[in-house]
Amino acid sequence: MSSSKSSGRVFGCATRLPVAVGGAVAKRLLRGSARACRAAVAVAGVLLLGLGLAACGGGGTETNDTGTVQGDWAWTLPARFPLPRVPDANPMSRARFELGRFLFNDVRLSGNGRQACGSCHQQDKAFTDGRVTAVGSTGQAHPRNTQSVVNVVYNTTLTWANPLMTELELQARVPLFGENPVEMGVTEANKAEVLARIAADPRYPSMFASAFADDPAPISWNNTIKAIATFQRGLVSGASKYDQWLAGTALLTASEARGKDLFSSEKAECFHCHTGFNFNDQVNHAGTRVALTPFHNTGLYNIDGLGGFPFPNRGVFELDLVPSHMGQFRAPSLRNVGVTAPYMHDGSIATLEEVLDFYAAGGRNITSGPHAGDGRLNPFKSDLVGRINLSAQDKADLIAFLRTLTDEDLLTNARFSNPFAAR
């Protein structure tokens, strides 16, 4: 099958959504306070314009030919990885990355002092949390499964299903300031107090000063968000066994090698959506000319036989209410997928074995309960997801291959670690 048969929608250069649509969508972007919403509308407006320029503007080349050193920051990228795109307003630096590592893991950055970004995005689980769905600092349930933030610098859009969420600096405002659900619980009322807690730690003033040398008052929310974004951009994973095999420094077992071939075959179809160096199909980097943003319905649900997914996890439909966008989610990178269970946007598949059973069946048939319905027959399901004849050995081989994508260095390297954890 050719990838043009995918039912996935593609934004990209055509992302010149009418302003009215952009505004309405943007209003839901942060799911936060009215004030946050107004900010989101403004930011989304800028992003809509910016996307056209940044993603499609001239000058870019397809290859990584601009070197891997930016300021005092040296990217250590595997050969096949393109140079990441970094916004001019927030250049990479070692001081920003290190400050970001602290702030990302500092529970004092939440309203009640209980939760950091790193509480949900934990290094040993490739920056996920092992939960079915996330739980915020006040105990409020989040409807979605926590995503990995590894290689997030290369994602065209962020989060499970939001075509407008394109910048890490914007995304960070959701867990920090969002009210529905509450994640970190920073509000207008406690904002100044939370920042004062950070300023009171004797380590931070000099760290902020060296990370933002030109700023006379460096300890601010803006700079906090920039440093956290810089840390996340630096979380690049490309040292898995599979990468070592590509570089000729490791061998795959027979099962892993069979799984690799099956993964990239027209039989299993996996590679259509989980493709390229990052095993996903929304890739953006310094040389990107056209950043495509497909989303796909993989047939996890079919509640009413009309294609329904459970609220509030109906994919891109949740934002734009376009019927055919029901159940469409971003294909996640499969790097480190061996340590990021449970799976899917709602954590509804517990193991890789069950993921393979799901794909082999061409969707999920739920026979009882409120979500009953045969996902295999979901009318909005991608053409690329259909029944596959996978033997038990095929499934085991595919899983063995997926496990070669685990990058032990990323999971253990002190550069990416929580500085507050007892060692």
Footprint of ligand HEC (CB under 6 A): 6, 115, 117, 119-121, 134-136, 142, 144, 146-147, 149, 152, 155, 158-160, 168, 171-172, 175-176, 183-184, 228, 232, 268-270, 272-274, 296, 298, 300, 329, 331-332, 334, 337, 340, 343-345, 355, 359, 382, 384-385, 398
Least Å distance, CB 100 to ligand HEC, is: 9
Tell me which residue has tokens 């970004």: 117
Tell me whether residue 142 or residue 226 sits nearer to ligand HEC (CB atom): 142
Comparison of 41 and 402: residue with beta carbon closer to ligand HEC: 402
Q: How far is the CB of 375 from ligand HEC (least distance, A)?
A: 10
Residue 395's contacts (CB-CB under 8 Å, 6 or more residues apart) are 353, 356, 357, 360
Both tokens of residue 418? 């929580």
Of residues 83 and 319, the one with the C-beta less far from ligand HEC: 319
Q: With the CA atoms of 373, 375, 378 and 382 taken in that order, what torsion angle do they form, in degrees rounded to the nearest 10?
A: 170
Alpha-helical runs (H) found in 252-382 = 254-263, 270-273, 317-320, 352-361
> Which residue lies nearer to ligand HEC by CB, 359 or 380?
359
Q: Rounded to the nearest whole angstrom, what is the least distance from the CB of residue 249 to ligand HEC in the complex? A: 25
35 versus 61: smaller Cβ distance to ligand HEC: 35
| Nearer to ligand HEC among residue 85 and residue 121 (C-beta) | 121
Alpha helices in 274-407 (DSSP H): 317-320, 352-361, 392-403
Min CB(270)–ligand HEC separation in Å? 3
Which helix H or strand E contains 241, and what residues bound it? helix 241-246
In b/e form, how buried is each residue of 75-91, taking b as 16+ CB within 10 angstroms? beeeeebbbbbbeeebe
CB of 267 to ligand HEC, least distance (A): 9
| Residue (92 or 135) nearer to ligand HEC, CB | 135
Among 345, 382, 388, smallest CA distance to 4 is for 382
The residue whose two tokens read 């936060």 is 32
The candidate with the shortest Cα–Cα distance to 48, out of 90, 17, 88, is: 17
Q: What is the rounded distance in angstroms from the CA atom of residue 125 to the CA atom of residue 90?
A: 27
Which candidate, 108, 345, 138, places its Cα nearest to that of 117?
108
CA 218, 224, 225: angle at the middle one, nearest 5?
135
What is the rounded radius of gyration, in angstroms, for the C-alpha atoms of the chain?
A: 21
259-285 burial: b if 16+ Cβ within 10 Å, else e:
bbebbbeeebbbbbbbbebbbbbbbbb
Residue with smaller CB distance to ligand HEC, 79 or 382:
382
Identity of the residue, 90 or 155, whose beta carbon is nearer to ligand HEC in the bound complex: 155
In angstroms, what CA-CA distances link 230 with 101, 179, 411?
Answer: 9, 25, 18
| Cβ at position 105, least distance to ligand HEC in Å | 10
Least distance from C-beta 148 to ligand HEC, angstroms? 6
Residue nearer to ligand HEC on the CB measure, 147 or 223: 147
Rounded CA-CA distance 92/74 in Å is 9
Rounded to a whole number of angstroms, the minimum distance from the CB of residue 131 to ligand HEC is: 8
CB of 31 to ligand HEC, least distance (A): 9
Q: How far is CA 219 from the centre of its chain?
A: 27
Secondary structure string (H, E, C) spanning 62-77: CCCCCCCEECCEECCC
